[in-house]
Chain A
Amino acid sequence: MLSLFILIPFFILILINLFFSKAVKKLTFWIAAVLFLFQALIVIFKPIEFWSGKLPSIEKLFPFSLYIDNLALVMLLSIGIIAFISLIVGQNTINDGTKRFNFINVLVLANIGMNGIVLVKDIFSLYVFLEITAVSSFILISLNRDMEALEGAFKYLILSSVATVMMLTSIALLVMYVGDTSYETIGTFFKNQQFIPFFILVAVSAFVGGLFIKGGLFPFHGWLPDAYSSAPSSVSVFLAGIVTKITGIYTLMRLIISVFGFSPTLQNLLLIVGALSILFGAFSALGQKDFKRMLAYSSISQMGYIIISLGTGTPLGIAGAVFHFFNHAIFKSQLFINSAALEEQTGTRNMDELGGLQSKMPVTSATSLIAFLSTAGIPPLAGFWSKLIIIIALWNSNHKIYALIAILAGVITLAYFLSMNHRVFFGILLEKLENIKEAKPGILFPAVLLTIITILVGLFFPFILNTFILPVQSILG
């Protein structure tokens, strides 16, 4: 059953490219849209038991060893939603037909890669799918082949390749002691190990370090603002919304929970890196002029929250991390859509050249207001609840200083978003912006959709908590 998440997009991809006629080329968008939407919807309505079932005919041809749990289910949902949104934005911002066709194809490939990352249960297969996702994102970033984007893609390529080499080193060292690369075998090895040999220590730190690079966390964040801000807007949505988080943060969660296990040293490392990322991202975002760069630094800060929450090692902390992961995917994609709308209409991302756009672009203004209130953690929006869970988890597990840092950073988040909103949407309308119109409905639709999700998740929080978030805790068991 699970192999369908990889096989269906793959066969659709082959079909699209085999029947290379004009009619199919026009239909590509709709085929991909149905594919992504289908993934998002079917994950909501079918429980894990359904997915764990077997399909003998397919299983015989493609005996992939895959595995699903509640955590993976939330990830598949986020991938489906964000890929769908990014596809719509791409359809409305990329004008060249061939370019759009390539964009959709590579998007589907990245989707397969991420589904693979979420479902595999073997470190080497994980590496393979990480590379598929990474290579697709290099291509997506440099889709327009302009200088900035090529530079961002090249930086990302080098750092990401260094990260994968670190992971491979770690895989080799693990095989030396364990003899296998499946999560289960390595997990049992770590559980039974009293004294950890030197090489295993090197292996774990290399792997975790590689994932920090992939996730763009504090000391290794160098590529992230460049890649995010230089990519075409639809790709920024995709990268910031889901790719970095799946390749870096989800993988880290999965490996620590099911393979390495929580050790005090590892927990301290996560807490420190998380806290530094929160503070560094928030303070850097304060000083940015470029709308997208500010969002990128804000992403670093929000990913710090996820890591710090994971660092508690308690079931509540992990539930909070997963919930914040989902919320951040939703509202950060939405802010990137808003930045796309601004850039399309005004031709600039520099916030100093904007001002008073509220009357001209009411929908963009309103949706971005809601998204940033959610980011800053204002009740009753979705972001408030996830931050609340994270802070409670930190407080309960006796990391009170980190809880205070999380609260303090919330205030800074509010500060930079207020300043952003003040500069862009409120205030006096600049003269040269007199003729600005609201963005195309094709860009407004995904923004409104994500805003509705943010508000609904906030309002129906008790229901969401019981059906999606608390079951995640069971993976610790």
Chain B
Amino acid sequence: MTLFDMNTFFKLSFVFIPLLFIIGFYCIIITHNLIRVLVGLELIIKAVTLLLVVVGYTTNHTVLMQSYIITLIIIEVVVIAVAAGIVVNVAKQTGSLDTRNLRTLKG
């Protein structure tokens, strides 16, 4: 059933998945735009989904992992929808999407 050489496959995933995480986190930390914060959030969720798939494939638990991923995707949609609701309300009230307008409360 092995499509690939498992060792190389594992190492490739080990290099690439952290890179995806870094892209997402960098986006969340650096950006000034609310919607782009959500894009960054989506990217780290994508990275963790890929991790789940890779783990499922390497350990031969693809069926269990698929059931996890389906649940994860449903939850992801709801979280993004709620976040989008917040962003739309913020934009309606301030007329901008800049996170720097959100500093009325201090840490």
A266 within 8 A of B: no
Structural contact, A152 and B105, CB atoms closer than 8 A = yes
Structural contact, A150 and B65, CB atoms closer than 8 A = no
Q: Number of A residues whose C-beta is below 8 Å from B?
A: 34
Min CB distance A469 to B, Å, is: 36
Q: CB within 8 Å of A: which of B24-82?
A: 28, 34, 37, 41, 44-45, 48, 51-52, 55-56, 58-59, 61, 64-65, 68, 71-72, 75, 78-79, 82
Min CB distance B61 to A, Å, is: 6
Among B68, B79, B89, B105, point to the contact of A131 (Cβ < 8 A): B79
Structural contact, B72 and A168, CB atoms closer than 8 A = yes
A157-B86 CB under 8 A given contacts A162-B28, A168-B48, A172-B55: yes
A47 within 8 A of B: no
Structural contact, B37 and A128, CB atoms closer than 8 A = no
Among A131, A158, A168, A229, point to the contact of B41 (Cβ < 8 A): A158
Q: CB within 8 Å of B: which of A135-188?
A: 135, 138-139, 142, 145, 147-148, 150-155, 157-158, 161-162, 165, 168-169, 171-173, 175-176, 179
Structural contact, B65 and A135, CB atoms closer than 8 A = no
A222 within 8 A of B: yes
Majority-rule SS of B interface residues: helix
Among A128, A138, A145, A155, point to the contact of B75 (Cβ < 8 A): A128
Across-interface contacts of B93 in A (CB, < 8 A): 147, 150
Across-interface contacts of B61 in A (CB, < 8 A): 175, 179
Across-interface contacts of A128 in B (CB, < 8 A): 71, 75
A260 within 8 A of B: no
Across-interface contacts of B90 in A (CB, < 8 A): 147, 150-151, 154
Structural contact, B78 and A135, CB atoms closer than 8 A = yes
Structural contact, A138 and B86, CB atoms closer than 8 A = yes
Across-interface contacts of B45 in A (CB, < 8 A): 161, 165
Structural contact, A157 and B83, CB atoms closer than 8 A = yes
A190 within 8 A of B: no
CB-nearest residue of chain B relative to A151?
A: B102
Structural contact, B86 and A229, CB atoms closer than 8 A = no
Bound complex: CA of A364 vs CA of B33, how far in Å? 43
B8 within 8 A of A: no
CB-nearest residue of chain A relative to B44?
A: A165
Min CB distance B64 to A, Å, is: 8
Across-interface contacts of A148 in B (CB, < 8 A): 104-105
Bound complex: CA of A270 vs CA of B82, how far in Å? 33
Bound complex: CA of A135 vs CA of B78, how far in Å? 8
A438 within 8 A of B: no
Structural contact, A154 and B34, CB atoms closer than 8 A = yes
Bound complex: CA of A161 vs CA of B28, how far in Å? 12
Structural contact, B75 and A229, CB atoms closer than 8 A = no
Q: CB within 8 Å of A: which of B82-105?
A: 82-83, 86-87, 89-90, 93-94, 102, 104-105
Structural contact, A158 and B37, CB atoms closer than 8 A = yes
CB-nearest residue of chain B relative to A156?
A: B86
Structural contact, A142 and B59, CB atoms closer than 8 A = no
Among B68, B72, B102, B107, point to the contact of A154 (Cβ < 8 A): B102
Among A151, A158, A176, point to the contact of B58 (Cβ < 8 A): A176
Structural contact, A142 and B86, CB atoms closer than 8 A = yes
Bound complex: CA of A215 vs CA of B87, how far in Å? 24
Across-interface contacts of A225 in B (CB, < 8 A): 105, 107
Across-interface contacts of B51 in A (CB, < 8 A): 168-169, 172
Across-interface contacts of A124 in B (CB, < 8 A): 68, 71
Bound complex: CA of A128 vs CA of B78, how far in Å? 12
Across-interface contacts of B94 in A (CB, < 8 A): 147
Q: CB within 8 Å of B: which of A111-127?
A: 124
Across-interface contacts of A171 in B (CB, < 8 A): 68
The 6 closest A-B CB pairs, nearest first, are A226-B105, A168-B48, A172-B51, A151-B102, A172-B55, A176-B55
Contacts A153-B86, A154-B83 known; list 16 others, CB within 8 Å. Answer: A124-B68, A135-B78, A147-B94, A150-B86, A154-B90, A157-B83, A161-B45, A161-B79, A165-B45, A168-B48, A168-B51, A168-B72, A175-B61, A175-B64, A176-B58, A226-B105
13 contacts between A and B (CB under 8 A): A138-B86, A139-B82, A150-B93, A151-B102, A154-B87, A162-B28, A162-B41, A171-B68, A172-B51, A179-B59, A179-B61, A229-B105, A230-B105
